[in-house]
Amino acid sequence: MISVNDFKTGLTIEVDNDIWRVMEFQHVKPGKGAAFVRSKLRNLRTGAVNEKTFRAGEKVAKAQIDNRKMQYLYANGDMHAFMDSETYDQIELPEKSIEYELKFLQENMEVQVIQYHGEVLGVELPNTVVLEVAETDPGIKGDTASGGSKPAILTTGLSVQVPFFINQGDKLIINTTDSSYVSRAQ
């Protein structure tokens, strides 16, 4: 058991027979009344995000999550195959359980597969990934890095806003938490 006063972003807890990851939390001490913790939780089974308020000092069960390093292999219809890098075991996940992550996944990419007592809950991506620009309008001479931005479609189908100097075929570093352009890859 863990006290809600010890919440940290990324902590996994068990509440109402479901597995939740703490996305945000805030300790609130009103002038009148008891202190409480307001939190934003994401359900690891469904992906739903809920806001929940706990009384200060309340105890919740900490969920024991196993992260296994796996390699994304291929898509087979609406199933996606992953292979354990050490044991070479393969698992398949349905497209609906990793819908957001598919925007960043490329064949042979290393990811963390999240498991809870043998049940596969999803895929955890690295903070940034390198993706290639598949389609964008050509840059025009005189455009600056500090200027505006234009849309670019990457090889995975993800659409991001990029500076004008980015061209088709460029490799970009993309932030996986908010699908934003970070920089050009070397």
CA 94 to chain centre: 17
| % of residues, the chain, pLDDT over 90 | 34
> Is the distance from CB of 115 to CB of 129 less than 8 angstroms?
no
Alpha-carbon span 127 to 130, nearest angstrom: 11
* CB half-sphere exposure, 68, CA atoms < 13 A: 22
* CB half-sphere exposure, 33, CA atoms < 13 A: 7
Q: Give the pLDDT mean for 6-10.
A: 85
Q: What is the pLDDT of residue 104?
A: 92
> Is the distance from CB of 95 to CB of 82 less than 8 angstroms?
no
Q: What is the pLDDT of residue 142?
A: 60
Q: What is the pLDDT of residue 165?
A: 85
Alpha-carbon span 71 to 40, nearest angstrom: 30
Question: Would you place residue 140 in the very low, low, confident or very high pLDDT band (cuts 50, 70, 90)?
Answer: low
Whole-number mean pLDDT of the chain? 87
Alpha-carbon span 88 to 65, nearest angstrom: 21
Question: Would you place residue 145 in the very low, low, confident or very high pLDDT band (cuts 50, 70, 90)?
Answer: low
More confident call, 141 vs 172: 172
143: pLDDT strictly greater than 60: no
Q: Give the pLDDT mean for 42-52.
A: 85
The residue type found at 42 is R
pTM, two decimals, is 0.71
Q: Report residue 22: phi and psi, to 5°.
A: -75, 115
| % of residues, the chain, pLDDT over 70 | 95
153: pLDDT strictly greater than 70: yes
- Residue 112's SS3 state is strand
> Is the distance from CB of 76 to CB of 61 less than 8 angstroms?
no
How many residues are present in the chain? Answer: 186
Which range has the worst mean pLDDT, 8-12, 89-93, 154-158? 8-12
Q: Which residues contact 155 (CB under 8 A, 6 or more apart)?
A: 106, 131, 132, 133, 134
C-alpha triplet 159, 174, 104: angle, nearest 5° = 65
Q: What domains does the chain contain, in order, with CATH numbers?
A: 2-62 (2.30.30.30), 65-124 (2.40.50.140), 128-184 (2.40.50.140)
- pLDDT tens digits, residue range 76-101? 888 999 999 889 999 998 888 788 88
